Structures are given as structure tokens and as C-alpha cells.
Structure 1
Amino acid sequence: MFRTLYGKLAAVLMVVFITIGAMMILASQKMLETQRLLELATDLIIGTVAFSLLAALIVFRLLTIRLRILSESIDAFRAGGFSHPVQLMSSEPPLDEIDRLSAAFQEMSERIVTQLAQLSQVDQQRRELLANVSHDLRTPLASMQGYLEMLLIRSDALSAEERDRYLQVAAKHCERLGKLVQDLFDLTKLEAREVQPQIEAFPLAELAQDVVQKFALAAQKRELALIARCRADCPPVRADIGMIERVLENLIENAMRYTPAGGEICVDVAPAGERVELKVRDTGKGIGDDELQDVFNRYYRVDRGEFGNTGNAGLGLAISRRIVELHGGEIRVESELGRGTTFTVDLAPA
């Protein structure tokens, strides 16, 4: 009972009333002895009022001292720009409502500080993304504009072979620009959940082999070994085949971007317990432990040295994570500097 503020107030009032009752009993006995009824009644009234006021002041002090501390802490928290959490002395476990209020406010202040720090970090990463995207948009635009202007200015002086070469370069930059814009559009739709997967059963191993075959020529030009290793006993999966193909393409493109010539990229498909795992392993430079947690962030691009400096905004991994999450799966990354990186996607079997 005495653990609550109500119980404490009740105890204080009980003491007051018992004391007043005792005083009345003593006064009654005194009245019978001296017969000074009027004087004693006056003294009793004055004493009762004075004692009640004193008790009220004590109760008020008991109520307000911790509330004042809490109010001052709130003002200091606001004046400090919500940058440091409030540290309040409270009982464990909380003894009354004020203790619970203090504990709740302390927890709330810690969450506010954490969330503001996260928002600040996201804002900084957003600025970096905008800078990266602006650079990535400007580079192909400038190149495409330069080649097209050259065609307009020197069209009569250029041979047919030179015109074709200029047009091919301009078309390549146009394709690169279109892919970047499409990635931004797709990521926006996925985060807004405007796209829902069309679930069907299909063999993931066959899809992996088809995608590896699609990238075989590009890997050969970069002097990379691209291999598909699929277990024969791998069951089909239930997923959107187009979306999973997009995930696999993004992971292979990412591996090719950060793997130097002479390296190897391996795509594995195998059952793992009650799930089916798709792994894309490369022998690139790898990712540091302090960067692994951010590789799927849409605002983050890992700097992995000269091989990663390709002017790509790094949206493929963010898109891949959103797609896998829509399927109720998980995408993980493991990496070791100097030895390579492995991305693992697990999906539900059919």
C-alpha cells in the first residue's frame, strides 16, 4: 500500500487525524478538570489549524520536491538541444507514480537522443547520396553532350566509322543514365511498398545458371572467372522470378565492380535446413567490419579502392534488400579484407 503516492498520502493523513484525535482526548480530560471550556476549545481549534497547515506543507513538499527536480531536468534537456539524455535518481523498482514518471522520462530522453543522432546520420548520408547521384548523373550527361556536339560541329569532317563510334559512346552513356534513373525510381517504389511480388514456384538453380550465362561475356572482358555451382537436390523456391533475377543481377554486378582482373566470382545455390540459400562470393578487396552494417543502406556507398571507383551510386544492394524483405527472406553479408565478400540470400522453398 505504501509503495504508491496514494498510499503515502493516506499514511500522512492518518497520522494527522490520529494526532488530532489524541489532542482532542487530552483536551477533553483537561476540560473536565478545569472547566475552562471556551479557552480550551479555542486552543484546540488553533492547534488543529496550525498542525493541519504544517502537515499540508510537509505533504506538499513531499509531492513537489521530486516534481521540481523532474521539471528542472526537462528544462535542462530542452535547453541543451536534446543532445544529452536526462539522468534522474529513481528507485529500482519504482516505488510510486513519480518514480515511474521519472523513469519513463529518462527512457524517453534516451530514445530522443538516439533517434536524433540517427536522423542526423541519415541526413548526412542523404546529402552524400545526392552528391553521388548528382555526380553520376552529370558524368554521362556531360560525355553524351560532348560527343553529340562533336557530331553536330564536325559532322561533315567525320568519317562514317567515327560517327558510328561517337554514337555508340553516346548511346552507352545514355544507357548508363537511364539505369541510374530507373534504380532511383525502383527503390522509391519498393520503399513505398507500391510493388508486390507475384509469387510462383520456380527452380532457383536454373535461374542462377541463366543469369551467370548472361554475364559471362562481361566477366570475360574483365578477365574474371564467373562460375555457377548448384546442388542437384536443391528444391524450387516460391518467389517473384523477375525480382529474384534483379537481386542476382545486382549482386553479380556488385561483385564484378569490386573484383580485380584475375579474380573469381562464384554463385552457389543449395538447400540450408528448411530454406534455400543463394550465395554470391567474390575474391575482391573485401569490406571492413566498420562498414559491413551500412552496405545495404541506400545512402551509403563503400569505398573499396580503385576497382570500386566506377561512378555508381550504389543503389543495387539497397534495392536487393528491399526485394528480399518483400519475400520474407533475409540477405546477409560476410567479408574479410584482402580475401573477398560473400552475400547470402535465403528464400522459402516451394
Structure 2
Amino acid sequence: MTFIATVIAKNGAAVIADSLVTTSHPMLEYEDFLNYLKRKSGKSKKKSIDVIPEEIIDLFETKPHHTKDYEEKLFKYDDFTSITTAGSANLNDRSIKDVLEEIVDKNSKTKGYKNKKILTKVKDLVSDLNRQVNEHLKKHSSVRETTFIVTNYNKKNNETKVFKVKIQSASSKKLDQEDFEFVKYKEADRIEKVICDGQNRISERILFGDLPLIWGLVPKIVEQVAKDFGIDKSEIGEEYFSGIRNNQDIVSKDVLHDMKILKLNGLSLQQATELAALLMRLEMDFQSYTEDIPTVGGVIKLAVIDKNGFKYIAGDRITRPSNI
């Protein structure tokens, strides 16, 4: 896991990423195994029980096992564009860093690339990643979900655009489905002044309040009610869900008031960098109070994009060792 974010300012944007990579393994907790044995033995006084291999396998859960530092997750894509990544550190038997650097090198040699609109550049990136995913799945059984946040600043019209490009988690069987999209992209809404991904629940709760939780729960509650009362779920359209979400008797003004994301207009570039650093610090520090393996941290890279182009603020240089 990781934490990446873009904070949009009135004259540019700040982008931030940590450098920890978490390796996960299937694991079986000792207590879970004991509980399984107790369930299998029941009240029987036999000294042996029948253990079914498939049931043992089902007890395993994929959990963070260890972390590695100094992984590159923030990249200069071109003079006014950055990319941050969260998810898998490798694709097609190469690091994400190598994959992106190859794409950047290809773009630099493409005539007229600099004059392309950012949407075209994003579509080109999707095409390049899609090719990598296809090659990956011809050699491996699956591909992990990976998110790329593409941030571009247009100095001519003083506009920042942010896109989320996402590699979908998929098995190699999906290669046979011609209509399956391995890589998708979506432009961030104009009201979103902070776009983050990875281990970002604390940040999202601060920025969006309870609204995402409510929006996610409404369909689940309605579907459960429909099931309990024998109502055909197909008769309930998206318009019904939207109506409930927009009903102020259900979703009060207080919920909307808690959406701090709506109050972040007109940030200076300095404020944007400070907010990006604050959100990173919140995600990092909260880990120390939990039993979980730290998955956010390491070297923090911070950069800005403004009228002068892409520029690193921190984390891009080797520093003097602390023990010397």
C-alpha cells in the first residue's frame, strides 16, 4: 500500500508520494486455525479429526507481510505533467519505474508530442499500459490493480487537470474477453481540489466527511430491503438511488457542510504543498497507533507544477546519512 495525492492550487498543483512498497502473502493466524480445529472436533471425544485441505486453504488471508523502502512512485512525465502510482510495483516483469521511463522516452522521440492535448496524452498512456498488461497476462495468471494519478498544468489558461488511470485487477482468462477493459481512465471533477489514492481513508474522511459512506450504503440497504420483501431488484433504477442521495431529509445539510473538499478553492501553491504534506503525515502517523504493518512512509517525494514547469521540492536527492 502507499499514499499518493495531488492538491490543486489556483496557479498550479502540488503532488506527493511516499516510497514504501508492501509485499503481501497468504497467512493463517494461529487463533483462526485453533478455532477451525475446535469447530471440526465439536463435542466428539475422538483423538483425531478429519481435515479437509480445501477448508484449510480457505482459512488463509492475504495480508501485508513486509515493506521495502526507496521505491519510485512520483515521476516527471513531461515538462508540465506528473504521474504518481499506487498498487503493484511491477508490471510485465519490470518495475513500474522502468515501464514509465520507457514510455516517457518514446514520447520524447515522437514528433509533435509536446503539442498534444493532455486528454490525448492520457489516452496514449492508457494504450501503452494496456499493451503492457496484455503481455504480462500472457506470462502470468493475473495482474494486480494499480492506479496512476496524472496531473497536468496548462500555463496558457492557468488550468490544472487530473486523471486517474487504473489497471483493473484481472486474471489471464480475461484475455479471451474482447470487450474487457484492462485499463480505464477518468478525469477528476472540477470540485475536487485534492485527488488521492492508496491508503487514503483518513484523508478522504477529512475531505469528504460521511458522504462517501452514505452513498455507498444507500444501494446496499435498498437492495437488502428489496430482497427481504420480495421486490424485484431490477425494478429499482439508478434514479431511485439518486433521489434518496439527494433527499435533504435523508442526507442533511450538515453532511454536505462536513465536505471540506468544497471549501478548498483558491489555495496558493504554498498552501497546496503544505496540505499535501499534512495529509501524508496523517496517514503515516496514525499507523503507529495500530497493530498493522506500516505501509505508508519512507522517503517522501514532493513536487509542484506551475508556470515554470515541473519541479521537485523534497525527496529527489541523496541526503547525508544521519549517523555521520
Same fold (TM over 0.5): no
Higher strand share: 2
Alignment TM class, shorter chain as reference = under 0.3
Q: Which protein shows a greater Rg?
A: 1
TM superposition score normalised by structure 1: 0.19
